[in-house]
Each structure stands twice: as C-alpha cells, then as structure tokens.
Chain A
Amino acid sequence: MDTRLTIEDKSEILRYLGYRGSEITDGVEKRIEACMNKANEVSKIGYSYRLFSVSYEESGVVVQNALMTMPGNSIKKHLAGAKKVAFMCVTLGRAFDVEVEAQMIKDPASGVILNACGIALTEKAADELQAIIDGSLEGSLHTGVRFSPGYGDLPLSLQEDFLRVLNAEKYAGIRLNSSYLCNPSKTVTAVCAIID
C-alpha cells in the first residue's frame, strides 16, 4: 500500500490546522506544499486486517475465536446487528513521528503542518485499506463506517485486544504504551461492520 497525499487533500489538512478562511501567507503556503511532499516521502505504511464473526450478548459484542468481547452500547449500535466484522489497523511508521519532532524543533510551523498532513494521510490510508478489504469480500459485501476504541463507551483499553487479534506488532510494528496510545502515533485501529 502506497497511499499519498495529493492536492485534493489540502483542504482536509487545513481543517486539521484549525483554518477558518483567512488569507494564507506565502511562507505558510510553501510550507504546506513542502510538508505534503515530506509526508509522502517519510511515511512507510504498514497495516493488517482480519475478519471475524460476532454475536450480540448482554455483555457486549462477542468476537468469535478471538477471546474478545467489545463491551457497551455504542459498539452494538454502530454494528447494527452485522454478523461479520473487519478489524483493521494502519500506520505511517516510526520515521514519520521522528520527522515531525525534527520539524517541530527546526521550524514549529512546519512541525504542526506535517503533523496535520500525517493525520490526513493516516485517514486516507485507512480509507484505502477499507477498499482493499472490500475488494476481498464476495459480491456486494463491503465494510461500513470505522469505529475505534475510545469512541462512545467502547473503552480505549480495548486497543490491547484489537492489536492482538490483528497481530499488529508483527505485521505493522504497532505497539501500545501504558495509556493505551498507539506507537507509532500516526496509527488508526478500527472495527467495521461488513454489510451488503
């Protein structure tokens, strides 16, 4: 997978930067362009996905053969009774985090822009991964909207199980810290309903 930022992604990047329609100075324009190129250059996308059957119990959504239950109402509502789900994770890799840090030191304006580029690129890569998963599904089956630990009442601590069932360290080099934050930081983990 080689997801890249293109000019169409600029508005999304500006949105992450809190842009509210003011005039953009020449210097910032140039930085945005340079950071988009930098983001494409230093990201090394890793990913993993797996499909599971689920059942709906009192305790939450039980993932079959995964030693995992997703507790709470939010996830139940989100999956809306789907029988199968796709777990996925995608990351830009450690080098991206290192580059953001270096930019923050050299030129903080570029640092925050590169960081925003990273968020946009991760989301775009997650979209592309969903397209890959969709392509592997039969007929008109496809994945629904992504839902991640930390959304609604789905606890963030479930990241541990997400990464375990995805074998995320092996396939994408993703590990968790003690606050359940992913490393590399530009990482998306999610579950999607598989729907027709």
Chain B
Amino acid sequence: MDYFDKIHILDGGMGTELVKKNAPMGKLPEELNITHPEIVKDVHRSYIEAGADVIYTCSFGANPYKCKHSDHSVGEIVKASVKNAKEAVKESGKDVRVALSMGTIGDILEPFGNLKFDDAYEMYKEMMTAGEEAGADILVLETQTDLLEVKAGVLAAKENTKLPVWVTMTFEPNGRTFTGTLVESMAITLESLGVDAIGVNCSLGPKELLPFVKRMREVSSLPLIVKPNAGLPDPRTGEYDLSAEDFAKDMKEFVNIGVSMLGGCCGTTPEYIRGLVDITKGHKPVKLKENNHSYLCSSREYVDITKVHVVGERVNPTGKKVFQQALINHDIDYVKNQAIEQVEAGAKILDVNVGLPKIDEKGLMVEVVKELQALIGTPLQIDSSDPKVIEAALRVYNGKALVNSVNGEDKVLDTILPIAKKYGAAVIGLAMNEGGIPNEYEKRVAIAGHIVEKCAKYGIGPKDIYIDCLTLAASVQQKEVRDTLNAIRLVKEKYGVHTVLGVSNISFGLPKREYINTTFLTLAMDAGLDLAIINPNNAAMMGAVDAFLVLDNVDKGAMEYVDKYAQIAALEKAQGITNKSVKLVKPGEAAGNDEAGGTIFDHILKGLKDSVAKDAEELLKTKAPLDIVNDDLIPALDRVGEDFEKGKSFLPQLLASASAAEAGFSVIKEYMAQNKTGETISKGEIVLATVKGDVHDIGKNIVKTILENYGFTVIDLGKDVPPEKVVEVTRERNIKLVGLSALMTTTVASMEETIKQLHAAGLDCKVMVGGAVLTEEFAMQIGADFYSKDAKQSADIAKKFFGCEGA
C-alpha cells in the first residue's frame, strides 16, 4: 500500500453503530462476530459505502486476557472478525483493505502490574497470527496507552507475520497517555522499530489532537493516521459534541498538514466518514524527507542531541565495592538510588552496566532496565560486552536506547549491529579493533570509518552512530591526548556522526584528578564532543559542561547557567562555603541538613542525615568502626524505636531517624570496604518479599529500611514474588530468617503457600510475617513462626533471632 499516493479514508466508530443496529451488547462485544455476524457485516458495509478505503475488524478486545470468560477462543473470534470484514469487502466489489484492530490487553505490565512483557508478546502473537491466517491485510494496534505494551505487539507482528503494522495511541490533553508516554517518544521509538504508520485515535476531538499530530511530524517522517472522536463526550450521556459537518471542518487541518490516513473513533458514524471523503478530494499526503536529528528517548522523555549532554556513568560496578555487593545482594533499590541521584544532578542519559563475574548479567540487566525505566524518564545506554545481554535489554527497553558498545572488529560489528538495528537503537563505536587502540589519530579515524561503513550495511545511518575516540591516561601517553581530540574533530567532519567519550581515564595516576578531568573535558567539548560520560555528582565536571554551553553561545543569555548557579552561589555564601560546591537543595530535602553541635545520638533522633554522616566520619578518626555501630548507632536506633512504641513519635520520624542512621552506616561501610578491615557490620542475612499477587510494597520497604539500619543484610526480592523464588534464594544463600509481607486478604493465601513451600523444601529457616490484614493468631494459623505488627517489631524479632539482643 502506498501511503502517499492518496489520502486513505479509514472507517469510524464500531460500538455505537452496533448499538444502533440493535446488537445485543454483552461483556465482550467481539463475540458478535460469531453470534451475530450479519450485524457486524452491516456496520462494515455502511463504512465501505461511505467511502472507507480501510476498515477495522471488530476485534478490539479479542485478546486472551479479555476473552478469558468467553466460550470462544481468541482464534475463533479473531478469524470470524476478519471473515466478516472480508465478506463485506467482497460483496462491495471495492478495493478496500482489512485491518485487524487490537486494543490494549487490559492487564498491567510489570513492574506496575503482574503482566510479563513476554506474555504480552504472546497474546498479541496469538491474535496476529490468527488474523493473518484469516486474511487480514494490516495489523493495527489502536487506543494504546503504554508504549512498552505496544513494543511487545510490534515485535510480535514483525517476528511472526509479514503484515504491515500501524500503531495509534491515545493521548490526554497534556500530550501524554495515561501511562505517561509522550507524543515524541512514541513517534521516535516506533519509527526506529520499523512500524509502517503511526498516529492518534480516540480520547479527544480533532482540534485537541492537532497539536500532537504536528509534534509527531516534527520528529518523524512516517505516514500519519488520525482517527479522533466526534469531539468531547458529555460525561452524563456519553454523547459527543461535534456534528459530522463540524468534524469534517476540523479534520481539514490534517489534510493541510499532509497526513496519510483519516478516519473517526468514538461517536463517529458513516456520515462523518462521508464528510472526510469530501474534504480530501483532490488532496495528497505530504511525504517528508527522513528526519536527520539524533534522538534517544524513554517513553516519557526524549533527547535531541544538538548540544553536549552528560551521560551518567555511576550505574556500573567496576571498581566499586559497595555497588558490587549491592548487585550480589540483589539490592535493586541501591541501583535505583544511584540513578535518581545522577538524574537530579543533571545527567540526560544513564549508562547501565551490571556485569560482574558469577552473576546472571542478562537476568539482572533486564530487571534493572525494567525497574529504572518505570522510575525515571532519562533514556538509558545499555552497557555490556555480551550480545545476549544487549539484546535482552533492548527487547524490553521502553524507548530508543544507545548501545555501549561496538568496536572496529568485524566479529563484533556483525553480531551487535543487526541487534541494534532490529530494536531501533543507536550505537557507540569505539575507535579500536583487534590490534588495540592505535596511538595515531588518523588510524582511529580510519577505524571509525570502518564502523560507519558497516553500520550503513546494516541500515544504521550516521545520525545513530556515536564514535568514542577513546581517552588514554595522560600520565602514560601524554602525547596521544591530542590524538584523541583531533580524532573527535575529524570523525565528526568526515562522517557526520556524533561523538562520545569516557572522560576521567585521562587523569589516571595523577594527583588532583579533577583539574585534569575538567580541562580535558573542556578541550573535548571544544573539539566537538556530544556525549560526555562522567560522574554527574561531581560539581566541577558539571560546572565545566554548563560553563562551556555559555561560552559556546548555546545557552543563550546564560539563562540556564544563571538559573542554576545563582541559587547555588547564594547557598554557598549563606553556609560560608568558599572552596567547594554544594548541591542544590530542593524544598523538603532541607530536612536532612546540618546542625551545629549535638552528638551523633541527638542527630539520629532528630533525623539529621548530613550531620550523622559527618559525625561518623569524625568518630572514625578515633574509634573502631564496629564500636561506633554498637556504641552509637544501635543505641540511638533503640531509643528511636522506644519512642515510637510509646507513641512519643510516629512513622515518618522513625523513618527519618533510620535514614539518618543509614547515612552513618554508609560512611562506616565505605570505610571498611576501603580499609579492608575484614570485619563486617552484618548481623545476619534476611530475605524480604511481598508475596505473589501483591504489588503494595511500602510496608515491606519500611521494614527493610529499619532492618538495614540495625545492621542486618536484607536480600530484597521485591513485590509480587512467587513462592518458588523465595525458596530458591533462601536455599542458595542459606538464609535463616525470611520476612513476608501481604497487604490484602486476597494475597494472604499466597503468603501461606510460600510458607508451605519453604517447609516442604525442608529448609532450616524461620518465617516472620506482617501486613495490614494479619493478626498474631492468623499468622500462626498460616504457619508463620513470628508475627510482626510493625517495622520496629520486625527489628526486635531479628535481633532476638540472631542473638544480638542488647548489642
């Protein structure tokens, strides 16, 4: 189908037409395809007569999730829907295409709900293969709200059928879907995934949707589909407010901006479609040239690489003991915290690397990607040397990612580039090959040339290539520093690609590394660096980037610079800090600020994070780490717990004190890791999980915070955890105490099942349980060993259990 030879007319609303024809509307209207095929065909006929070039099948909700109560299988309903549409087309004798309509599955994808990405994929696959078999011409995912669910559908279509795929999503007045998907992110992601046409349907009328369609056109050259409602509905009656005539008038704007396909959604009828035929007569869609901007995006944010941006490098265990331990303990919250910190410090892209020996890198990478993309909007850079890990991560990535990395070796290029292309990712190419890193810049440029050539072969254009000209330590290869800078300049000039650089290696082996790092970064930016991989928590490095943008006349009027640094300067002045930058403090965070005077005990009681961290640093000069834990931190926490029990404080205060104590623990842990004291603060390992079916994990997280601050190591399995997983981890790590949480009566059953399985596995462990609906009696009934009414009590139980009472 040529999307640009004419404006194709699509059909209008299905539901209202069925009601009008007196169809008996059950819970699953799609069953009408089987029970009342004539009525469905009648609706199709009316749209064909009105002039539709493409009709949508009556199969919107015919997916395995929504059909679970139906007497008919998904295959039966889908095939019947295609058959009805095709028969109506055949009778008409017209050249009309049949598009298999697929709405949202209706279940919620992880981590917000329980639906797994792979299961969503399978559900769409089931519909799509049945649809293709029955003779559908097009697959259309419509009224979609979650870009990740759409991606599952697109992959299902591409991997299992030969049909073209269209996607239309449903946007709210703020330009986002209910799940937060941004107009631009949708367009960028789907174009890079190779979808055939994109657009909008439902939710709003033509006028309200127009700005969104214009925005899609700004970032994408794909053919566009517009299928609005007949205006806005009256909430009482469900009636829409635009007449067919007004609808046509408003739709004319889309003809003017050159969209390819026009139709209607809720509230539109054949009359509305006839109106579209009239307004499109004599008009053609406008084909845009391929957009050569370089985009990266998540579902919620996109970055157009037109100036230098910071890539946060901190989600990476290399050389970081605490991070490594967090990965081993499956402490995903630690990783999330690292991500949040970097985003707040100004990173626009986050590198994600979870590679450690003896760790399931693929499983962990997929989990971390899923969790991070649910939490933050910053696009991710997938960093691994294992193509399988890269592919698994790109598959579930909700947006357009950057792959770190390929190099000039053909073996690497031929493995990774097809993966990047398939999932629409951009790639980082290291200017090195089998022979290592050439010293001379000319040779690095030549390798970059080879990478660009190979990319072209796999269909990846320069706009999606980021060459890393590689930083060598100035202490060892001083002469070659200039080679890196020359290479940056040259690869950009010669190949029209972007450049990326890990900066801080430059100062390896030198004192006062920051001086070297900031200066090198500045030189690199001047040479044309686009993405600087740095630690965004380093104020001097961020300052260099911000200052460069002013001096390079990019930050016009130094607006952004002044906005950021005027506040910081004022704060520094107020706090009498002259030689070192402070972080910008946001409202509410002031709560954790410094207080002069007082002991670490007082500061924990008051919940003063920064003070406690400083106190701990101070104490470490004179006191053994474990003595600080036992003499200072734990007694303070005990007092906090006591106050809480007596009603002298309440939950937020308990947690504020716990966080303050945690700041002290972190300082001590870091010290012990660096000084290899061989000691450990851990008073015992505890597995925590919110049981299967339950996605409320605030209670469990509170318990975790408290337990950790009493010095226990918590293996947090997260929420909605299957019993098998609890058994597996408990066995593998020889855990003696397991904590289970459930919020709902409905999920206490899976708590019982988890306890049963732990017992059945013959594991020598005790189980403590907690949750809103539990009582001591109930807890004993389901086989728990301990009942914990709140977080404080869970710490008491753990202390008693591990024999550290009074410690």
Contact = CB atoms under 8 A, between A and B. Distances in A.
A102 B653 CA distance: 19
Nearest to A179: B693
B40 interface: no
A48 B235 contact: yes
B588 A34 contact: yes
B651 A30 contact: no
Contact of B592 (A20, A27, A111, A113): A27
B716 to A, nearest CB: 11
Contacts of A144: none
A152 interface: no
A46 B180 CA distance: 13
Interface stretch (A54-62, A72-80, A169-177): A169-177
Nearest to B235: A49
B577 interface: no
Contacts of A30: 587-588, 590-591
Nearest to A68: B27
A187 to B, nearest CB: 12
Contacts of A49: 235
Contacts of B174: 44
A176 B105 CA distance: 11
Contact of A106 (B27, B203, B340): B340
Contact of B653 (A25, A44, A101, A164): A25
A: contact size bracket? 35 or more
A142 to B, nearest CB: 15
A27 B336 contact: no
Contact of A109 (B607, B643, B693, B698): B607
Contacts of A51: 236
Contacts of A173: 145, 177-179
Interface stretch (A3-11, A92-100, A120-128): A92-100
Given A34-B587, A178-B693, A28 B607 contact: yes
Nearest to B657: A109
Nearest to A65: B25
B593 to A, nearest CB: 9
A27 B656 contact: yes
B108 A175 contact: yes
A180 B375 contact: no
B701 A172 contact: no
Contacts of A19: 650
Given A109-B652, A164-B27, A173-B178, A178 B114 contact: yes
Contacts of A146: none
B801 interface: no
A107 interface: yes
B773 to A, nearest CB: 11
Contacts of B177: 173
B471 interface: no
B445 interface: no
B290 to A, nearest CB: 33
Contact of B112 (A26, A34, A97, A108): A97
A177 B110 CA distance: 10
A22 interface: yes
Contact of B107 (A14, A26, A37, A178): A178
Given A25-B607, A112-B655, A164-B27, A105 B744 contact: no
B797 interface: no
B746 A156 contact: yes
Contacts of A175: 106-108, 113
B698 A25 contact: no
B652 to A, nearest CB: 4
B698 A110 contact: no
Contacts of A25: 606-607, 649, 653, 656
B618 to A, nearest CB: 21
Interface string B692-716: 0111101001100100000000000
A22 B698 contact: no
B178 A172 contact: yes
Contacts of B741: none
Given A177-B114, A178-B114, A109 B27 contact: no
Contacts of B375: 98, 101-102, 105
A112 B653 CA distance: 10
A170 B340 contact: no
Given A51-B236, A181-B695, A31 B591 contact: yes
Contacts of A115: 698
B26 interface: yes
A31 B652 contact: yes
Nearest to B202: A170
A22 B527 CA distance: 61
A69 interface: no
B705 A94 contact: no
B178 A67 contact: no
Nearest to A27: B591
B374 interface: yes
A112 B652 contact: yes
Contacts of A98: 180, 374-375
Contact of A169 (B26, B104, B643): B104
Contacts of B648: 22-23
Contact of B652 (A101, A105, A113): A113
B378 to A, nearest CB: 12
B695 A177 contact: yes
A113 B650 CA distance: 11
A141 interface: no
Nearest to B720: A177
Given A106-B337, A108-B659, A156-B746, A37 B587 contact: yes
Nearest to B588: A34
A131 interface: no
A11 to B, nearest CB: 13
Contacts of A181: 694-696, 744
B294 interface: no
Contacts of A111: 655, 698, 701
Contacts of B384: none
Contacts of B754: none
User: Which has the most chain B C-beta neighbours within 10 Å: A25, A27, A102, A104?
Assistant: A27
A95 B655 contact: no
Given A49-B235, A67-B26, A170-B202, A20 B607 contact: no
User: Which has the most chain A C-beta neighbours within 10 Å: B180, B375, B652, B705?
Assistant: B652
A104 B337 CA distance: 10
Interface in B170-192: 170, 172, 174, 177-180
B143 interface: yes
Contacts of A20: 647, 650
A46 B113 contact: no
Contacts of B269: none
Contacts of B203: 170
Nearest to A20: B647
A96 B145 CA distance: 17
Contact of B649 (A22, A93, A185): A22
A107 B592 contact: yes
Interface of A: 14, 17-28, 30-35, 37-38, 44, 46, 48-49, 51, 67, 93-95, 97-98, 100-102, 104-113, 115, 136, 156, 164, 169-170, 172-173, 175-181, 183, 185
22 contacts: A14-B650, A22-B643, A22-B647, A22-B649, A26-B606, A27-B608, A27-B656, A28-B652, A31-B652, A94-B112, A94-B178, A102-B376, A105-B333, A105-B340, A108-B658, A112-B651, A112-B698, A170-B170, A178-B107, A179-B744, A181-B694, A185-B696
Given A17-B651, A30-B591, A105-B375, 12 more contacts: A18-B650, A23-B648, A27-B656, A30-B588, A33-B588, A67-B26, A112-B652, A136-B235, A169-B104, A173-B177, A179-B747, A185-B696
> Across chains A and B, which 4 residue pairs bring their CB atoms closest together, nearest first?
A173-B178, A34-B588, A27-B591, A109-B655
Interface of B: 26-27, 104, 106-108, 112-114, 143, 145, 170, 172, 174, 177-180, 202-203, 235-236, 333, 336-337, 340, 374-376, 587-592, 606-608, 643, 647-653, 655-656, 658-659, 693-696, 698, 701-702, 705, 744, 746-747
